[in-house]
Amino acid sequence: MGPERPVYNRILLKLSGESLLGSKPSGLEFDRLNQLAREIRSVYDLGVQIAIMIGGGNIFRGYQGEKAGLPRAAADQMGLLATVINGIALQEAIEKERMACRHLSALEIKAVAEPFIRRRAIRHLEKGRVVIFSAGLGSPFFTTDTAAALRALEIGAEVILKATKVDGVYSADPLVDPEAKFYEHITYEEVLNLRLKVMDSTAISLCREFKLPIIVFNVSIPGNIYRAVLGEKVGTKISET
């Protein structure tokens, strides 16, 4: 048998801030970061071009600040800065695994990250560098899910791999409702009509318009990123048909 071949040549991996928690209730667990970097390395070694959209919920979420009385715009800006912190940490973990990596922020913070320029991001990917996107779209009121969908389209990614803490898409939260139904495959339309909390409706609508598939899977299971890239049945696939 020859070497395993990926079914996707360019991917966008959506990592939530929670995926960096490990056993901690908040903040960063560096063992978890290193484990994720090793998983990314296994996909990198297949020759896949990898972009990552990083969230910041492990440090700060906009709605937390809003509940405390901050204006929504200010609270969201704090959340965007949390993603930059995660981006710095993830870049270090990836480079520790001997992969070239570039961190591109939608907020201009030249001391720690390159500004996002679409052609530059694509060039980095073509040169075999892992690209981390942080600060979402640089604007309040937009989630990092929407940012992931837009960046995936901008760079010509063939799939969004949405890493979560559950096995895929369910009819309800399986951590709360043991009777929740698991979907091996579901359409964009069904996600929107059933109001499933997979990604926000703007992100789903963007992917539907441009027929960009989404694979939702449990990132805490070792090897799931690798298996998803090889086209094995992992989690839930969201697509047109």
Q: What is the dihedral of CA 118, 122, 128, 129, to 10 degrees?
A: 10
pLDDT (tens digit per residue) in 22-45: 888 888 999 999 999 999 999 999
What span, in angstroms and rounded, lies between the C-alpha atoms of 40 and 94? 8
pTM of this structure: 0.94
Q: Where are the domains of the chain?
A: 10-239
132, 124, 2, 156: which is closest to 55 by C-alpha? 132
What span, in angstroms and rounded, lies between the C-alpha atoms of 48 and 125? 9
Residue 155 Cα to chain centre, angstroms: 14
Burial class (CB in 10 A: 0-12, 13-18, 19+), 121: buried
Tokens, residue 192: 């929107």
Work out the average pLDDT over 219-237.
96
What class has domain 10-239?
alpha beta
Tokens, residue 212: 């960009």
Work out the average pLDDT over 100-109.
97
At 68, is the pLDDT very low, low, confident or very high (cuts 50, 70, 90)? confident
Work out the average pLDDT over 3-20.
93
Query: Measuring CA to CA, how many Å separate 211 from each of 42, 203, 233?
Result: 27, 12, 19
At 170, is the pLDDT very low, low, confident or very high (cuts 50, 70, 90)? very high
Tokens, residue 75: 């609270």
pLDDT of residue 22: 80
Percentage of residues of the chain with pLDDT beyond 90? 87
Work out the average pLDDT over 126-150.
97
How far apart are the two ends of the chain, measured CA to CA in Å?
32
Work out the average pLDDT over 130-136.
98
pLDDT of residue 2: 47
Over the Cα atoms of the chain, what is R_g? 17
